[in-house]
């Protein structure tokens, strides 16, 4: 892929050739380099120094400590040319330490996507990265996975192309701990499908199916998302989103199944957490709404809304209520 197709996203997706140590110099050292377990950093870089008692190995860590460790705890280090590898399945020495090290090194350069065989690992950057623009989507269209840097759009495009060519249903599964970025990445994938399915048509027409899918998600978030200790907008239910396309790849319909809403949150919340966003949105609404629903504006007047916190930083409930209202009316 010509990286210029990616515009400013290129620097966040693929490294410019790194200067590597001369091969001879590394080849010798390489065999002595290893990872050993470390309480603080999980693994620390070390060099073999010799054999110790009971079949143990003596190593010197990068911070100068001499350790005697069991042989099975020592993990071989990959040569430096593997440092920023885009598919971890290609690592010569594939183990926990090398996976963590690769992900860390890439994340330090804000490269949040890395392949691991068929999987695409994504690390939450907790900041907006300029890697989701329309030009980036266009650059990934029709590319094979090996042709372009790892990206959630590559996963989306592969599924889309396979659907069109093989005429088979495709599924994308998002899994990870709370706050990992499942919802955000699912939205990017849906945006990609919607963009591909409407290419060449006037953009963002109000009322189109693409727009409706986007909006319905936001309504669901008002009723099914809440602040937790790990995520200010945590989805407290599972979703199975189905998008249907016609033979030419145009979006024809969509539906969403919802599973396992965390019902207990409605009557009780942990310290530092909140009930579902919608309750606080209603309480921050106008007086007419309060009169109609016989509620006050103060969450602490309501037992079920005041176990934890009432406000979320950078979240304006009054503004969100207006947005929820507009979206609900349009349905
Ligand atoms: N790719 C990303 N770029 C920027 N910010 C991100 C990205 N992914 C996640 N985030 C940030 O992390 C927050 C949590 O992400 P998200 O809600 O997607 O997690 P989740 O895995 O769906 O969590 P939960 O299981 O609790 O619903 C988002 O609100 C957003 O602020």
39: its two tokens: 């309480």
Dihedral of alpha carbons 100, 102, 103, 109, sign: positive
- Residue 169 CB contacts under 8 Å (≥ 6 apart), including other chains: 163
Q: Is the pLDDT of residue 2 over 90?
A: no
243: its two tokens: 């998008």
Residue 59 CA to ligand 1 centre (angstroms): 40
Angle (CA) 47-25-70 rounded to 5° is: 15
Tens digits of residue pLDDT in 150-165: 999 999 999 999 999 9
Q: Where are the domains of the chain?
A: 21-82, 264-324
Tens digits of residue pLDDT in 4-17: 899 999 999 998 65
As a whole number of angstroms, the distance between CA 10 and CA 131 comes to 8
Q: Note whether 171 and 118 are within 8 A (CB).
A: no
Token match 């994340």: residue?
Answer: 107
* Mean pLDDT of all residues in 204-229: 85
Establish whether residue 174 lines the binding site of ligand 1, counting it when its CB lies within 6 angstroms of any ligand atom: no
Packing angle, helices 152-166 and 182-197, rounded to 10 = 50
Establish whether residue 178 lines the binding site of ligand 1, counting it when its CB lies within 6 angstroms of any ligand atom: yes
Binding region: 176-183
Nearest-CA residue for atom 5 of ligand 1: 126
DSSP string, 208-219: -HHHHHHHHHHH
Q: Note whether 273 and 229 are within 8 A (CB).
A: yes
Helix (H, G, I), strand (E, B) or coil at 98: helix
Tens digits of residue pLDDT in 251-299: 899 999 999 999 999 999 999 999 999 999 999 999 999 999 999 999 9
Q: Strand 234-235 vs strand 238-245: parallel, antiparallel, or unpaired?
A: unpaired
Residue 183 CA to ligand 1 centre (angstroms): 6
As a whole number of angstroms, the distance between CA 116 and CA 89 comes to 5
Given pLDDT bands bounded at 50, 70 and 90, which one contains residue 313? very high
pLDDT for 31 equals 75
Tens digits of residue pLDDT in 20-44: 445 445 554 667 899 999 999 999 9
Establish whether residue 312 lines the binding site of ligand 1, counting it when its CB lies within 6 angstroms of any ligand atom: no
Mutate to test the pocket of ligand 1, among 112, 114, 124 (most ligand atoms within 8 A of CB): 124
* Mean pLDDT of all residues in 52-60: 89
Residue 124 CA to ligand 1 centre (angstroms): 7
Query: Is 264-324 assigned to CATH 1.10.10.820?
Result: yes
Establish whether residue 186 lines the binding site of ligand 1, counting it when its CB lies within 6 angstroms of any ligand atom: no
Q: Is the pLDDT of residue 183 over 90?
A: yes
Which burial class, exposed, middle or buried, applies to 101 when counting CB atoms under 10 A from its CB (0-12, 13-18, 19+)?
Answer: buried
Establish whether residue 241 lines the binding site of ligand 1, counting it when its CB lies within 6 angstroms of any ligand atom: no
* Mean pLDDT of all residues in 157-175: 96
Dihedral, 264, 269, 275, 276 alpha carbons, nearest 10: -50
As a whole number of angstroms, the distance between CA 263 and CA 276 comes to 10
Mutate to test the pocket of ligand 1, among 233, 237, 313 (most ligand atoms within 8 A of CB): 233
* Mean pLDDT of all residues in 97-117: 96
Mutate to test the pocket of ligand 1, among 12, 126, 313 (most ligand atoms within 8 A of CB): 126
In the CATH hierarchy, which fold is given to the domain comprising 21-82? Answer: SH3 type barrels. (2.30.30)
232: its two tokens: 């200010």
Nearest-CA residue for atom 23 of ligand 1: 179
pLDDT for 211 equals 81
Helix (H, G, I), strand (E, B) or coil at 99: helix
pLDDT for 326 equals 83
Token match 């990616």: residue?
Answer: 6
Residue 181 CA to ligand 1 centre (angstroms): 3
Establish whether residue 37 lines the binding site of ligand 1, counting it when its CB lies within 6 angstroms of any ligand atom: no
Helix (H, G, I), strand (E, B) or coil at 28: helix
- Residue 263 CB contacts under 8 Å (≥ 6 apart), including other chains: none
Q: What is the ipTM of this complex?
A: 0.99
């Amino acid at each position: 892929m010509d990286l210029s197709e990616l515009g400013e996203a290129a620097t966040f997706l693929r490294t410019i050739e790194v200067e590597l140590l001369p091969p001879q110099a590394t080849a010798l050292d390489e065999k002595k380099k290893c990872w050993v377990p470390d309480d603080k950093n999980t693994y620390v870089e070390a060099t073999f120094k010799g054999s110790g008692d009971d079949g143990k190995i003596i190593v010197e860590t990068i911070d100068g400590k001499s350790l005697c460790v069991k042989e099975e705890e020592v993990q071989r280090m990959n040569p430096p040319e593997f440092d920023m590898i885009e598919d971890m399945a290609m690592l010569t020495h594939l183990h926990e330490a090398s996976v963590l090290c690769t992900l860390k090194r890439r994340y330090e350069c804000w490269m949040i996507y890395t392949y691991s065989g068929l999987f695409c690992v994504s690390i939450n950057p907790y900041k907006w990265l300029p890697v989701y623009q329309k030009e980036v989507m266009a650059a990934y269209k029709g590319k094979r996975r090996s042709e372009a840097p790892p990206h959630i759009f590559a996963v989306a495009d592969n599924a889309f192309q396979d659907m069109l060519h093989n005429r088979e249903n495709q599924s994308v599964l998002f899994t990870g701990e709370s706050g990992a970025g499942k919802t955000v990445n699912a939205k990017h994938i849906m945006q990609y499908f919607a963009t591909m399915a409407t290419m060449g048509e006037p953009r963002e027409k109000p009322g189109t199916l693409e727009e409706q899918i986007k909006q319905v998600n936001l309504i669901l978030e008002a009723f099914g998302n809440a602040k937790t200790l790990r995520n200010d907008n945590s989805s407290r239910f599972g979703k199975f989103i189905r998008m249907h396309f016609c033979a030419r790849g145009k979006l024809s319909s969509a539906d969403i199944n919802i599973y396992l809403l965390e019902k207990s949150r409605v009557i009780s919340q942990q310290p530092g957490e909140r009930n579902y966003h919608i309750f606080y949105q209603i309480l921050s609404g106008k007086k007419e709404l309060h009169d109609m629903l016989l509620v006050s504006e103060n969450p602490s007047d309501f037992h079920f809304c005041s176990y934890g916190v009432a406000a979320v930083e950078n979240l304006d409930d009054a503004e969100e209520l207006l947005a929820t209202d507009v979206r609900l009316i349009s349905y």
